Copies of this chain bind each other. A is one copy, B any other.
Amino acid sequence: MEKSTAWDRTIRVSRAAEVQELVAHVPLFGSIRPESLERILEQTNARLVEDASRQFISRQGQEVTDVSIIMEGWVMRYDLLADGRRQILEFDTSGDTVVLFGSSATHHQYFVQAITPVRRWMLDAKSFAAAARKEPELHRRLTLLAFAALSEREDVVTDLGRRSATERIARLILRLLARMDRAGSSKGHRYDFPFKQSHIADATGLTAVHVNRTLMSFRKSNAVHIDNGVLTVGDINVLLLLAEMTMAEFRALKRKSPA
């Protein structure tokens, strides 16, 4: 990892390589010609930044000044109520575009905070919006991403509205597994899992205590084991059963990317 003093030089030297990485791993840029992307990065004053774990990337009420594209690490976006109740709306990692820009909102409605150390691109929001207006392919991608996010969020609405704690947690784990499989970040049925039980609780609308009990039962039934920040699916069929999900639905989940 470069020191921040070295960034300027780094960016100039290896921009071609970085553009390639962006095209390959970032759905938002997946079908854009490298030349166009390079121009977009210029225009939006794109810069690589790093955040420590727990660092805030944006806060509720702040003005929207930039768009972030995660290259490494995990981030969460959440809503915080006056009395401290917290609802995590999504977890994002490599390739994901946070603070999905495009709504007419000029101010952040949610908190975005690093869960692990994070490396990300920051693009200027205003010029990004302008670029999306000029570049149809980018605009098309943005729309696709918005619809994909909408679809995933509706799945979550059903989970929280109509499913039991066991189903909710099992489905969250399977959604993340599908996400990691898709990105090639899982080995077998094992993937990095930097989340605390309180994260799972706040994403599923449960209590950390209840998440703990549920996870203990998952362990006993050999569905899922979480140790040392690594999640291992013991028996996927058991997990699918707990989630009330068929194998076909799980496979559809994997395909359901903004690809």
Residues 144-166 of A contacting B (Cβ, < 8 Å): 144, 146-151, 153-154, 156-158, 160-163
Copies of the chain in the assembly:
2
**Residues of chain B lying within 8 A (CB to CB) of residue A136:** 133, 136, 139
From DSSP, what is the main secondary structure of chain A's interface residues? Answer: helix
Residues 107-163 of A contacting B (Cβ, < 8 Å): 109-110, 133, 136, 139-140, 142-144, 146-151, 153-154, 156-158, 160-163
Is residue A196 within 8 Å, beta carbon to beta carbon, of the partner chain? no
When chains A and B are docked, how far (Å) is the Cα of A156 from the Cα of B103? 17
Given the interface pairs A150-B146, A151-B103, A244-B81, the reply to whether A160 lies near B109 with Cβ below 8 Å is no
A: contact size bracket: 35 or more
Is residue A229 within 8 Å, beta carbon to beta carbon, of the partner chain? no
Judging by beta carbons under 8 Å apart, are A142 and B143 in contact?
yes
Given the interface pairs A153-B153, A157-B153, the reply to whether A85 lies near B143 with Cβ below 8 Å is no
Is residue A248 within 8 Å, beta carbon to beta carbon, of the partner chain? no
**Residues of chain B lying within 8 A (CB to CB) of residue A73:** none
Given the interface pairs A143-B142, A154-B79, the reply to whether A160 lies near B205 with Cβ below 8 Å is yes
**Residues of chain B lying within 8 A (CB to CB) of residue A163:** 81, 85
**Residues of chain B lying within 8 A (CB to CB) of residue A102:** 143-144, 146-147
